[in-house]
């Protein structure tokens, strides 16, 4: 009985085992292809990201200044650029499964065939695009170098990483390809599966050099930008190594608004789509500046500069006093937007006109006599002088030293007399002697505090990376940069805008707005499509003494509107409107064009070389290179003849008001704050004031925004 049961158990076990074996054979043989396909789909999905168009940038009237234009990029897989063997074998397996090669053909033979295709691809791509093979090769080299830098940076932070995502992606070998050429490349190179033609976009700017500095540039996102990205947790919006993002100007300021959300396509090994998300374009933003105003003001500045014996550059800023919106932000000279790539070296080497310098926000200049307005407000506010306090001007400050700390205006007048000066008269006449005494009463430390309270020595709220703080020294700054403490002469120099104090044209315009409005406030330059202002979120300053401002405003009215005022050439011819202002002539050291470097070799041999930088000085020498042991200015601009005085920048700052505004009161009507700087222009009243007049008249008569 037991043996029969054992026999039946053996039979059943054998039968069950046969069934299992048959099923396994069926799965492994008959259905092998199906399960291989399923495993490929489940285990090897590929993700492709689609670039999103950036938003556009418009002026305050809706004129499109910057936009994306559809285009195509010819891309190659990174593995092809570095000749990665495993990629070719994997690709060979995929192509064989798809039937593009015989199923019995060894993978290594297929990989050899793919290498032959890669070699022939380069001349074929060159013929199609018209680009030399050497150009394509250089582009490939730059891609490899960039990816290797990214990899090195990631490995430094995360040593366990062996390969970064850029090594498994395609990279643009030819950018900005037109649609017809893109179609031709797809057809002619369809036997190159590692080559793709991907939709993209190129940034197109309006033909207006007057806004080039402001618009800014796109560039590759570095590791720091990626780490600080506000969208770093968003797969479709975050920056990835190699992505392009705003690196300067409004492109950088509005990056979080302008950047869209990339699309995503997930495919299986056969190329079938498993999941997809369409790209979403970035949002638009609007600037507070108007293109027409930029163009007009640029012409005014160009005319003023061309009249000078030593022409260089200029800047002008217009700010709405009530809203603090920047209505114009002009730097002259500029350059066409598209010239940056092809002509960068020539632009960078122009050290006379400095066309790359965004003067309106980056240029740092001694303020000269426009600084006297702040000196007066500080002293009046602290009760150190009254509007009727008088100081006698006889042309110089120090007895027995008539050539030091002089009154420039006094010594320019034929009769050479200023006589007793009150606050208003000193502003009207721009009397240095009066302000030397006022500055001395304030002292350099307190004077600098007032300069900062009026907006100097800080950014103004635009959020532009180019915006400089300029310099308002304190005790720490002097010890750190000059190894000294405050001196009595600092108060004299700072009071008239000389010495270490510097200012930007944007700061000067906002100082004028502060005088008109009664308190400092940040400016605004851009708004997103929801009306939210971009830039720094900084609070407005505390109100200033209205009585002190009233005295200053009366003096600034006299500067322009009274016969003999230093800014009389700025008087407006627009009925019902007035301009109140302050001129300035700020002495400055001529610009260094190049340096004389002293080089020394290890054996003690020395040589001098004229160059623009240490790198340029060393570039002509082979290794081992010498060491730079000293340098001094060689050529300067303007070049002074022996005995000539230092050149001066010409300044004007002021604000408009209705003609029925009570003298010294806060301006009535639409008030515009204006600053004008003409490099090496000399007298502000002679050069900058007429330019300010033209700008004010245009802005007041142009159609309202």
601-608 CB contacts, 8 Å cutoff, 24+ apart:
601/626, 601/627
Mean pLDDT of 320-331: 98
| Helix boundaries (H) for 391-504 | 408-412, 423-429, 432-453, 475-482, 488-495
Q: What is the pairing mode between strands 57-58 and 285-287?
A: parallel
Q: pLDDT category, 70, cuts 50, 70, 90?
A: confident
> What contacts 324, CB < 8 A, 6 or more positions away?
461, 510, 513, 521, 522, 523, 524
Comparing C-alpha atoms, which of 210, 214, 232, 211 is closest to residue 223? Answer: 232
Q: Tell me what pLDDT residue 42 has.
A: 47
**Cα–Cα dist 691/678, whole Å:** 9
Mean pLDDT of 465-481: 95
Q: Tell me: the pLDDT tens digits for 453-466?
A: 999 999 999 999 99
Q: pLDDT category, 685, cuts 50, 70, 90?
A: very high
Comparing C-alpha atoms, which of 633, 636, 634, 637 is closest to residue 680? Answer: 637
| Helix boundaries (H) for 212-290 | 212-215, 223-228, 249-253, 255-258
Q: Tell me what pLDDT residue 557 has.
A: 98
Q: Is 404's pLDDT higher than 80? A: no
**Cα–Cα dist 204/214, whole Å:** 14
> What contacts 480, CB < 8 A, 6 or more positions away?
none
Q: Tell me what pLDDT residue 51 has.
A: 80
Higher pLDDT, 675 or 279: 675
Q: Is 401's pLDDT higher than 80? A: no
Q: Tell me what pLDDT residue 107 has.
A: 87
**Cα–Cα dist 375/367, whole Å:** 12
Query: pLDDT exceeding 70 applies to what percent of the chain?
Result: 89
Higher pLDDT, 291 or 413: 291
Full 3-state SS string of 20-87: HHHHHHHHHHHCHHHHHHHHHHHHCCEEEEECCCCCCEECCCCCEEEEEEEEEEEEEEHHHHHCCHHH
**Cα–Cα dist 156/147, whole Å:** 14
Which range, 190-199, 220-229, 570-579, is most confident? 570-579
Q: Tell me what pLDDT residue 275 has.
A: 86
Q: Tell me what pLDDT residue 211 has.
A: 97
Q: Tell me what pLDDT residue 41 has.
A: 47
Higher pLDDT, 527 or 2: 527
Buried b (16+ CB within 10 A) or exposed e, 11-31: eeeeeeeeeeeeeeeeeeeee
Higher pLDDT, 625 or 292: 292
Q: Tell me what pLDDT residue 345 has.
A: 86
Q: Tell me what pLDDT residue 499 has.
A: 93
Locate the domains of the chain by residue range.
Answer: 51-287, 291-589+642-701, 592-636
Q: Tell me: the pLDDT tens digits for 629-654?
A: 999 999 999 988 766 688 999 999 99
Q: Tell me what pLDDT residue 261 has.
A: 93
Q: pLDDT category, 200, cuts 50, 70, 90?
A: confident
Q: Is 247's pLDDT higher than 80? A: yes
> Regarding the domain with residue range 291-589+642-701, which homologous superfamily does it belong to in the CATH classification?
DD-peptidase/beta-lactamase superfamily (3.40.710.10)
Tell me which CATH code domain 51-287 carries.
Answer: 3.90.1310.10
Mean pLDDT of 308-320: 97
Mean pLDDT of 536-542: 92
212-226, 356-370, 462-476: least confidently modelled range: 212-226
Q: Tell me: the pLDDT tens digits for 488-524?
A: 899 989 999 999 999 999 999 999 999 999 999 999 9
Query: pLDDT exceeding 90 applies to what percent of the chain?
Result: 63
Mean pLDDT of 407-412: 60
Q: Tell me: the pLDDT tens digits for 142-182?
A: 999 988 888 888 788 788 877 877 888 888 899 888 888 99
- Mean pLDDT (the chain, rounded): 89
Q: Tell me what pLDDT residue 393 has.
A: 83
Q: Is 236's pLDDT higher than 80? A: yes
pTM of the predicted protein model: 0.83
Q: pLDDT category, 406, cuts 50, 70, 90?
A: low
Q: Tell me: the pLDDT tens digits for 256-290?
A: 999 999 888 887 656 678 888 888 999 999 999 99
Q: pLDDT category, 416, cuts 50, 70, 90?
A: low
């Amino acid at each position: 009985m037991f043996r029969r049961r054992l026999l039946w158990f053996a039979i059943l076990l054998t039968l069950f085992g046969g069934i299992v074996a048959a099923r396994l054979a069926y799965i492994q043989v008959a259905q092998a292809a199906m399960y291989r396909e399923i495993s490929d789909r489940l285990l090897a999905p590929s993700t492709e990201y689609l670039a999103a168009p950036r938003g556009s940038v418009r002026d305050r009237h809706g004129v499109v200044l910057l936009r994306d234009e559809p285009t195509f990029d010819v891309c190659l897989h990174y593995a092809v650029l570095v000749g990665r063997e495993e990629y070719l074998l994997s690709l060979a397996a995929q192509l064989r499964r798809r039937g593009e090669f015989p199923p019995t053909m060894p993978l290594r033979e297929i990989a050899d065939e793919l290498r032959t295709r890669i070699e022939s691809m380069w001349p074929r791509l060159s013929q199609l695009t018209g680009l030399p093979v050497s150009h394509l090769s250089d582009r490939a080299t730059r891609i490899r170098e960039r990816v290797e830098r990214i990899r090195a940076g990631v490995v430094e932070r995360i040593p366990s990483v062996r390969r970064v995502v850029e090594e498994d992606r395609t990279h643009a070998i030819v950018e900005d390809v037109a649609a017809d050429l893109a179609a031709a490349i797809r057809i002619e190179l369809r036997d190159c599966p590692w080559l793709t033609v991907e939709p993209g976009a190129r940034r197109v700017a309006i033909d207006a050099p007057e806004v080039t500095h402001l618009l800014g540039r796109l560039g590759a996102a570095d590791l720091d930008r990626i780490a600080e990205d506000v969208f770093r947790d968003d797969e479709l919006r975050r920056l990835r190594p190699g992505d392009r993002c705003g690196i300067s100007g409004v492109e950088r300021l509005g990056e979080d608004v302008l950047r869209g959300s990339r699309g995503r396509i997930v495919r299986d090994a056969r190329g079938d789509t498993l999941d997809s998300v369409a790209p979403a374009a970035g949002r638009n933003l609007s600037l507070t500046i108007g293109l027409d105003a930029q163009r007009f003001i640029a012409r005014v500045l160009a005319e003023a500069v061309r009249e000078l014996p030593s022409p260089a550059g200029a800047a002008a800023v217009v700010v709405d006093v009530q809203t603090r919106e920047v209505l114009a932000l002009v730097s002259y000279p500029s350059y066409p937007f598209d010239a940056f790539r092809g002509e960068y070296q020539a632009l960078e080497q122009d050290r006379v006109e400095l066309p790359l310098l965004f003067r309106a926000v980056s240029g740092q200049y001694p303020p000269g006599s426009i600084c006297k307005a702040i000196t007066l407000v500080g002293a009046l506010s602290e009760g150190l002088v009254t509007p009727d306090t008088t100081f006698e001007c006889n042309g110089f400050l120090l007895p027995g030293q008539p050539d030091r700390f002089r009154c420039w205006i006094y010594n320019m007048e034929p009769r050479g007399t200023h006589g007793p000066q009150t606050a208003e008269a000193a502003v009207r006449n721009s009397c240095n002697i009066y302000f030397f005494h006022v500055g001395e009463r304030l002292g350099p430390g307190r004077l600098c505090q007032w300069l900062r309270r009026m907006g100097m020595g800080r950014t103004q709220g635009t959020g532009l990376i180019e915006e400089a703080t300029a310099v308002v020294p304190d005790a720490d700054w002097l010890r750190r940069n000059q190894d000294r403490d405050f001196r009595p002469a600092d108060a004299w120099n700072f009071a008239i805008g000389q010495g270490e104090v510097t200012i930007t044209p944007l700061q000067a315009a906002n100082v004028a707005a502060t005088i008109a409005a009664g308190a400092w406030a940040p400016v605004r330059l851009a708004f997103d499509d929801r009306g939210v202002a971009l830039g720094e979120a900084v609070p407005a300053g505390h109100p200033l003494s209205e009585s002190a401002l009233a005295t200053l405003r009366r003096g600034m009215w006299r500067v322009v509107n009274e016969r003999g005022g230093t800014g009389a050439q700025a008087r407006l011819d627009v009925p019902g409107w007035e301009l109140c202002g302050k001129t300035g002539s700020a002495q400055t050291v001529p610009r260094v064009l190049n340096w004389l470097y002293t080089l020394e070799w290890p054996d003690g041999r020395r040589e001098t070389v004229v160059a623009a930088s240490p790198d340029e000085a060393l570039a002509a020498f082979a290794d081992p290179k010498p060491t730079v042991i000293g340098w001094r200015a060689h050529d300067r601009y303007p070049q002074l003849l022996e005995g000539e005085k230092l050149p001066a920048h010409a300044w004007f700052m002021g604000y408009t008001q209705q003609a029925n505004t009570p003298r010294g009161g806060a301006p009535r009507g639409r008030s515009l704050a204006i600053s004008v700087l003409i490099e090496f222009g000399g007298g502000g009243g002679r050069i900058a004031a007429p330019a300010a007049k033209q700008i004010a008249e245009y802005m007041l008569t142009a159609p309202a925004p």
